[in-house]
Chain A
């Protein structure tokens, strides 16, 4: 597609329920990233996929969070047993491969605003 597509754009869920967020990256972008942005805060790295390599999960805040990616296409971020502290905008970004020395910027999707009530 022309840009990074995320769905849903807004999600309100009850505490304790599971949610699934979807990201469709730019075609040809092998790298895909998930970040979280709480209200008035900066971007917090969650997880990173690069081609067929094992994902970098170092930013996931707890074992309630998981993500998958099918090849070099769609990714889903799943949050189990949601808590109010999970309320945030979840941003997905994609880029060309992060090769050594390359200056590769990300293109962000418009985000999913998650509200846990």
Chain B
């Protein structure tokens, strides 16, 4: 069974620090990886996608992928209280298959 694992948290970081969110996946043929942010009571919104090994940066966000270790992470630099949310890792195989989501990590940025 394809699984995506995340630490449920909460992960608490002070304002301005780097928040590091981690995710592991079980299916070696996974090809595309996504990070979604979900505020309480709201639907998930896509913030990053990555499919090649290495780092991908977008503003304060950096996604890191290591396919050999089946590990994907999200770094949030200069964390702000508005970053406080649950971050969902999602994984996709090739072709017409649905995303498999982790249960999410709750991040709390303390002002």
Contacts and interface: CB of A to CB of B under 8 A. Distances in A.
Chain A binding surface, main DSSP class: loop
B96 A56 contact: yes
Interface string B21-60: 0000000000110100000001111100111000000000
Contacts, number: 55
B90 to A, nearest CB: 8
Contacts of A109: 43
Given A42-B103, A43-B101, A103-B49, A111 B43 contact: yes
Contacts of A104: 32, 92
Contact of A98 (B42, B43, B96, B103): B96
Contact of B44 (A43, A56, A59): A43
A45 B51 contact: no
Contacts of B88: 42-43
A105 B98 contact: no
Interface residues of B, number: 24
A33 interface: yes
A50 interface: yes
B43 A108 contact: yes
Nearest to A98: B96
B45 A108 contact: yes
A27 B71 CA distance: 34
B86 to A, nearest CB: 9
B107 to A, nearest CB: 15
B98 A48 contact: yes
30 contacts: A33-B99, A35-B101, A42-B101, A42-B102, A42-B103, A42-B104, A43-B88, A45-B98, A45-B99, A45-B100, A48-B96, A56-B96, A56-B97, A59-B98, A91-B43, A98-B95, A98-B97, A100-B95, A101-B31, A102-B32, A103-B32, A103-B51, A104-B32, A104-B92, A105-B34, A105-B49, A108-B44, A109-B43, A110-B43, A111-B43
